[in-house]
Amino acid sequence: TQRPNSQTNTRRFTLTGPSATGAPCTARRTAPRRQAARRYSESLSEVPGVRVPETPTGAVHGWFVYVIRVPAAARARVLRALDREGIQAKPYLSLLHLQPFMKRRFGFKRGDFPVAEQAMKETIALPFFPGISHAAIKKVSSAVKGALT
């Protein structure tokens, strides 16, 4: 059998995983996403009906997606408003317990996890990527605000 090249594996680990201390590599790679998340939160935190994501003190968020919560009755209206502006946004949070396999295997049914089911009705994943511009975030935020006020 062929032994893995330790230099290649080390290099790959350094690029895709944490550095020896964990922080510098991760912080550098997530900085643009953290900045975008901060801008979204600043733009949306005062909009009535919008709940922005929170990161507990001492925790580090990976920010692979930016998800807001809006009242369930308003979610379709917000999604339509975003679509009218040419902004791609999607409902977020698929419920695993309602997937056919989970229902068959474990007997789960609607109502077994009411908090998760309510969250599913309220979540929207907004456009989010490391290079998203401040202007794009403002446009998305404005459309969300317009739909809710």
User: Is-above-0.85 flag for pTM?
Assistant: no
pLDDT at 120: 93
Answer for the pair 67, 126: CB distance below 8 angstroms, yes or no.
yes
Rg (CA), the chain: 19
Closest among 40, 87, 89, 90 to 61, alpha carbons compared: 40
pLDDT at 68: 97
The residue type found at 120 is: M
| pLDDT tens series, the chain, 149 aa | 444 444 433 333 333 444 444 555 577 778 899 999 999 999 999 999 999 999 888 888 888 899 999 999 999 999 999 999 999 999 997 899 999 999 999 999 999 999 999 999 999 999 999 889 999 999 999 999 999 98
Q: Is 41 helix (H, G, I), strand (E, B) or coil?
A: helix
How far apart are the C-alpha atoms of 139 and 149, rounded to whole Å? 15
The residue type found at 147 is: A
